[in-house]
Structure 1
Amino acid sequence: MTKTMAEHISVMLNESVDMLVTDENGLYVDGTFGRGGHTRLVLNRLEGGRLLGFDKDPVAIHHGKLLEQEDSRFSIVQDSFANMAEQIPNVFGVDRVDGVMMDLGVSSPQIDDAERGFSFMNDGPLDMRMNPDEGISAADWIAKVKEKELADVMYQFGEERFSRRIAKAICEYRAHTPILTTLQLSKVVAEANPAWEKGKNPATRAFQGIRIYINNELGDLETGLEAAVSSLKVGGRLVVISFHSLEDRIVKRFMKLKSKGPELPRHLPIRNDHLNIKFKSIGKAIKPSQSEVSENVRSRSAVMRVLERVSD
């Protein structure tokens, strides 16, 4: 593993790049540039190949532009990976690539920078947007969202079982005091949560749910997975690293559908060749080694899955 300029540790760095790069002269996509940990190792593995990076975060884009100046084989676009099918031809001049990587979730620099509003440990403006120049901030959304919708978001995207109780407390608090900072929200959530999980901040699930909603993370993931497989050459691979069960469930279901087809009643006389399967899963889900987890505790929940196109 390597640390980049912002002390971000790329998870399953060598394992993911080993799975991704099958042709040193190929075209590749890094759907989540972050601080360029995976990107730099991919570039190290390439000879005549090229790499396109995506990120919404303007700070990540700044670092990506610096890397563009260092290495002419690399280009970066400020956009969601959900739009890669439209962006790939603009950069590469072709619509198929040899591999796509997606390292999902929030990067360590985003979490650790209190000004970005992701952290419930350090006080800062309640923002939570991957791109602070687009969309609505968490503070503005919380100021006007209806109690039921707020509860639903925390339950569906944060798997917070006390979402209704917490949503009620938030709405009662905002009635007399605007919730503008991360520690304000964290304190309200913690006080409303009746059963704190051992070793986990009581605001963790609520913050996760709100962040995922604000950034449309799961919607982008579903769109991005389809865009990725539509952009793969035969032999090309999709490598996805997810960090919580909601993401991994979507990735697992998607790859199973692409590699095995829809589940059908057993008695139907349909062979695999009738299903026109164009993909196969590569190995089983991979998790970080114990040594990696001990070095980087944030990697403990990571799961990597790989899909390969086998025909057009």
Structure 2
Amino acid sequence: MDFVPSHIPVLLREVVEFLAIRPGMRILDATAGLGGHIKGMLEAAGGEASVLGLDRDREALSEAGRRLEAYGDRVRLVRTRYSRFPAALAEAGWETVDAALLDAGMSSLQLDDPERGFGFLTDGPLDMRMGVEDGGESAEGLVNLASFARLREIIREYGEDPQAGRIARAIVAERETAPITTTRRLAEVVAAAYPAKWRAMARQHPATRTFQALRMAVNDELGELEEFLRAIPGHIAPGGRVAVISFHSLEDRLVKRAFRLEATDCLCPREQIVCVCGHRARFRILTKKPVMAGEEEVAANSRARSAKLRVAQRVAAADVVVAGE
């Protein structure tokens, strides 16, 4: 790999503290990236922990393997989507883990390498797929083939951009002249679609939200997160903890809702006098509000500004209070 990115793991100190990292733990890093969090957790455990790291990006895993080589068989890296972590655990012979981490943000490799097509500060092919080898629709295919209605919905929902309609209309008009194949061209089209007054007042490039929205759609990021949150409670050992770092309000909302659901016993409607759902709490929420990076970390790593960390602990069977007992 010719491009070697810098890498600063977000909220590392908080992750280590909230997951109570210690020697002898089995740890799942569902989004290994370049291995920054894994390295930090292993250092906190004195090198005496076992880590299973997952990522769908082959290049990221290769670089992570190089950076973590000193830990030998303490680290096992697997290329897969994080929603498929149960299969990876089974392959490793693990039923449960003592700590699990999911960092839903982009790795430095993906953001900084222009050939990956995630950013627009430098020109590159319009791709945005985290796992190129998996195939699937690229951002170029989405931009040039999706209907106006679909593009508007994606940009409005995932990008939360009030100019979604104007942007989608501009993209459709431009591609009728010539296909949009590069990040710079798409950024120009989006910027031109913004009203002049909005462009003048914007604190970030007008294309920022559109690029975020397309990336989330191409990689089904919300679907991946929902599947992970649905499955993870059954794979955390009693007393173990799970931490999720999100960077988007929609992601944070999913995490908050999932943790709250798993921290609640009965889920029956309030008017239901007797519980018939049989649901029992499996989590205890450790972060009433999301933990965010301090000023010092944001100054050193601007990408940490929007990071939100939520943590929950798996309750032991004896901790679960059954109604009527």
* Category of TM-score, reference length = shorter chain: over 0.9
Q: Which runs of 5+ in 2 are unaligned?
A: 318-325
CA contact (8 A) 2:233 2:282 kept: no
Deviation string for 1:83-132 (max 9, x for gaps)? Answer: 011110211x1211101101112122311111110102111000001112
Deviation string for 1:249-284 (max 9, x for gaps)? Answer: 11111111111257665555468x975212110133
Residue correspondence of structure 1 range 123-138 to structure 2 within 5 A:
123-134=123-134, 135-138=136-139
Amino acid at match of 1:295: A
Equivalence for 1:62: 62
Return closer, same or farther for 1:172/1:45 CA change in 2, 3 Å cut-off. Answer: same
For 1:298 and 1:288, locate their aligned partners in 2 and report how far apart those are by CA, in whole Å: 10
Q: CA deviation at 1:170?
A: 0.4
Equivalence for 1:52: 52
Residue correspondence of structure 1 range 24-39 to structure 2 within 5 A:
24-39=23-38
Equivalence for 1:258: 262
Equivalence for 2:188: 187
CA contact (8 A) 2:267 2:279 kept: no
Local SS of the residue matching 2:158: helix
- 61-70 vs 219-228, which deviates more? 61-70
For 2:184 and 2:234, locate their aligned partners in 1 and report how far apart those are by CA, in whole Å: 42
For 2:158 and 2:29, locate their aligned partners in 1 and report how far apart those are by CA, in whole Å: 25
1:230 is aligned, of 226, 230, 234, to 234
Equivalence for 1:94: 94
CA contact (8 A) 2:18 2:311 kept: yes
Local SS of the residue matching 1:118: coil
Equivalence for 1:109: 109
For 1:262 and 1:158, locate their aligned partners in 2 and report how far apart those are by CA, in whole Å: 35
Equivalence for 1:79: 80
Equivalence for 1:249: 253
Local SS of the residue matching 2:237: strand
Equivalence for 2:170: 169
CA contact (8 A) 1:29 1:100 kept: yes
Equivalence for 2:301: 296
Equivalence for 1:152: 153
Amino acid at match of 2:259: M
Deviation string for 1:21-42 (max 9, x for gaps)? Answer: 4442111101111111110011
Return closer, same or farther for 1:288/1:242 CA change in 2, 3 Å cut-off. Answer: same
Taking only aligned residues, the RMSD between alpha carbons, in angstroms, comes to: 2.0
Amino acid at match of 2:297: E
Local SS of the residue matching 1:158: coil
Amino acid at match of 2:30: G
TM superposition score normalised by structure 2: 0.89
Q: CA deviation at 1:187?
A: 0.4
Amino acid at match of 2:207: A
Q: CA deviation at 1:145?
A: 1.1
CA contact (8 A) 1:68 1:76 kept: no
Matched, 1:6 2:10: no
Deviation string for 1:168-217 (max 9, x for gaps)? Answer: 11011001111000010000011112223531110011111110000011
CA contact (8 A) 2:264 2:280 kept: no
